[in-house]
Structure 1
Amino acid sequence: MTRPLYQVKAEFFRTLGHPVRIRVLELLSVREHAVAEMLPEVGIEPANLSQHLAVLRRAGLVATRKEGSSVYYSVTSPDVAELMRVARLILTSVLSGQAEILDDLRAPVAGA
């Protein structure tokens, strides 16, 4: 018996549900990176980064290639980079709406 698509989508979004994984995907959306290049950008221990990269690999979002002793990671599809771009657009829109509400709240009220 197959799982409903909404459950598969929920698993996909749970995979994305960690700030380190989002940061890694943002970095890899620009270009491939070696693990050592990503470490200062994500600010976590190498073992922890490796765990997050493994999760992204199992989900099929990143791929690896080995060159000498370095392992390079890249996104598996331009759609992953597009997802990061669209998420940014959505957040920009949502936060802009919230900023407008905040501005309204800060405006002086006549007669108050």
Structure 2
Amino acid sequence: MLLDGPQTVQQLLTRVGVEATNLSQQLTVLRQTGIVVSFRDRGLVAYRLRTPAVAVLLAAGQQMLHEILSDRDGLLTELETDQGGAQPGN
């Protein structure tokens, strides 16, 4: 959501649909790790990505997960073949 630009806490709450306390905790972690920065916008607390490089990193992670999940069925078949069709726990 912050890939679209800065968002106030209220905007984030509307888009995410979680309890305010949960969002606050997540934003605190993201702020403490340097992923986002907070600032005041017309008296409201807002957040933005610290650097555009965060968006690049997130896009790379999304692409990796997409590729991994796309290949998961083939990987599962390959693992089962390598194990002679044995199922875990057998």
**TM class, shorter-length:** 0.7 to 0.9
Which residue does the alignment assign to 2:37? 63
- Give the letter for the 1:41 counterpart: R
> What stretches of structure 1 of length at least 5 have no aligned partner?
1-26, 104-112
Tell me which residue corresponds to 2:16. Answer: 42
Aligned identity (percent) is 34
Q: What TM-score do you get using the length of structure 1 for normalisation?
A: 0.61
How far apart, CA to CA, are the structure 2 residues paired with 1:38 and 1:95?
28
Query: Which residue in the other structure is 1:94 paired with?
Result: 68
CA–CA separation in structure 2 for the residues paired with 1:53 and 1:101: 35
Q: What residue ranges of structure 2 are gaps of 5+ in the alignment?
A: 78-90
What corresponds to 1:54 in structure 2?
28
Superposition misfits of 4+ residues, deviation over 2 angstroms? 99-103
Q: Quick one: distance in 1 between partners of 2:73 and 2:55?
A: 27
In the alignment, is residue 84 of structure 1 matched against residue 77 of structure 2?
A: no
Structural RMSD (CA) = 2.1
Alignment partners' CA distance in 1, 2:5 and 2:73: 33
Task: Report Cα offsets for 1:76-105 as digits up to 9, x if no partner.
Answer: 0111111110011101111111244689xx
Q: Distance in 2 between matches of 1:84 and 1:41?
A: 19
Question: Size of the alignment, in residue pairs?
Answer: 79
TM-score, with length taken from structure 2: 0.74
* Matching residue of 2:4: 30
Q: Paired residue for 2:83?
A: none
For 1:84, the aligned partner's letter is L
Paired with 1:58 and 1:69, the residues of 2 have a C-alpha distance of 22
